[in-house]
Amino acid sequence: MNMSSDFGGRISEARALVGQASRVVVLTGSGISAASGIPTFRGTGGIWGEMRVEDFATPEGFERDPLKVWNWYTSRRREAADARPNPGHQALAELQRRLEARGGSLVLVTQNIDGLHQEAGSKGVLELHGSLLRARCEACRHAADMPAETADAVPACDRCGARMRPDVVWFGEALPQDVYAAAVEASSRADVFLSVGTSAAVYPAAGLIEWALGSGAKTVEVNLEPTPISRLVTVALHGKADEILPRLAAADDD
């Protein structure tokens, strides 16, 4: 992390923006869970450096080799079950409690499917890309827990016998409409929009900042490295979310 006084100044600026806001929206991506041991997708050490996204995160990939994809998600389910929220997740949960205590709100929108925000105590989390904790029927949408053990066959639905699938949003699939609509609504009413641990490369999630900018919100980015939104934001903080967020969310000294 850049520890220059300039960086400290930008943290103070961002902290003041958050401290004065009453409606805060936070969009998170895989970078916030990196300190919990969950790999990111893009960049060094990212999942898509080793695996083809078309084979594992598209409906066509699942059609070609359902068991391979199913078992990849069971192994990620296990990884998430073994992981614990880190100080970045905890700082956002604490900030939500503090804002609500003074009559404000914090809407947490996540691209992550690992459930760690909820485990840290965040309420009303908007999961844009579904959840690793659930499976659903391809035909009747009946939901079930996603198992953490590798299977010999993709399980069938208890209700109708059709094939189950992970309850996540793959590339080329629509986001859950009600969840996305709530995220757009919150972003377009935000005083402050915070983008955390995301490469801001996957749409429509990456477009949420434009709803916030369009209605005059102040914007803050917390990410290890610059992204396409870095030049759009009011304050860009490049470093680890688990180190920066606790400083950003720290209670006012007064």
Extract the tokens encoding 164. Answer: 């189950």
Who contacts 244 (Cβ-Cβ below 8 Å, separation ≥6)?
A: 1, 11, 88, 222, 237
How far is the C-alpha of 70 from the C-alpha of 73, rounded, in Å? 5
Which of 74, 122, 198, 219 binds ligand BV8 (CB under 6 A)? It is 198
How far is the C-alpha of 126 from the C-alpha of 143, rounded, in Å? 18
To the nearest 10°, report the CA torsion of 183, 185, 191, 195.
20
Question: Does 214 interact with ligand BV8 (rule: CB under 6 A)?
Answer: no
Question: Does 109 interact with ligand BV8 (rule: CB under 6 A)?
Answer: no
How far is the C-alpha of 128 from the C-alpha of 152, rounded, in Å? 30
Nearer to Zn ion, 51 or 162 (CB): 162
The stretch among 68-76, 104-112, 142-150, 174-182 that binds Zn ion (CB under 5 A) is 142-150
Nearer to ligand BV8, 95 or 252 (CB): 95
Q: How far is the CB of 12 from ligand BV8 (least distance, A)?
A: 19
**Closest residue by beta carbon to ligand BV8:** 31
Which of 30, 90, 96, 122 binds ligand BV8 (CB under 6 A)? It is 30
Nearer to ligand BV8, 17 or 196 (CB): 196
Q: How far is CA 23 from the centre of its chain?
A: 19
Binding mask 60-99 for Zn ion (x = CB under 5 A): ----------------------------------------
Neighbours of 187 (CB within 10 A): 24
How far is the C-alpha of 51 from the C-alpha of 135, rounded, in Å? 22
238 is catalytic: no
Which of 51, 143, 162, 202 binds ligand BV8 (CB under 6 A)? It is 202
Task: Tell me the pairing of strands 235-238 and 143-145.
Answer: unpaired
* Residue 160 near which of ligand BV8, Zn ion, none (CB within 5-8 Å, type-dependent): Zn ion
Measured on CA atoms in the order 67, 69, 73, 75, is the torsion positive or negative?
positive
Question: Does 18 interact with ligand BV8 (rule: CB under 6 A)?
Answer: no
The site for ligand BV8 (CB under 6 A) is made up of 29-31, 34-35, 40-43, 46, 57, 111, 113, 129, 168-169, 171-174, 197-199, 201-204, 223-225, 227, 240-242
